[in-house]
Amino acid sequence: MIQIRLPQHLRDLANISGELTLEISGELTLAAIVNTIEVEFPMLRGTILNPTTQSRRAFIRFFADGQDISNMPINESLKEYIRHATPRIDILGAIAGG
């Protein structure tokens, strides 16, 4: 199980309050996390990774147990970044536009 924190806009879109707890099957990777989110919440399809290029949207950052993993290849294992029994993945929207 992992804990996932989504930006407010995406929580509103998916009608989620608070953090998500999801089971990820197989290797823990960014692709697996995003895919699991999109299966569970289809309205979030394409909002985190660009659906055409599968690249991270420019104003989104990823953190695994507090460490910035934004620039990791999305299919690479996150094992070495995990510190807790129930890892926490933060998906953050950049503060921009002020």
**By CB under 8 A, how many residues form the interface with other proteins?**
21
* Gap between the Cα atoms of 53 and 88, Å rounded: 26
Give the residue carrying structure tokens 């995003």.
34
Name residue 67's amino acid: Q
Nearer to other proteins, 6 or 24 (CB): 6
Residues 33-52 close enough to bind other proteins by CB under 8 A = 42-43, 45-48, 50-52
Q: For other proteins, which residue of 11, 35, 72, 93 counts as binding (CB under 8 A)? A: 93
Residues 1, 21 contacting (CB under 8 angstroms):
yes
Name residue 25's amino acid: S
Residues of this chain that interact with other proteins (CB under 8 A) are 7, 9-10, 12-13, 42-43, 45-48, 50-52, 57, 59-60, 93-94, 96-97
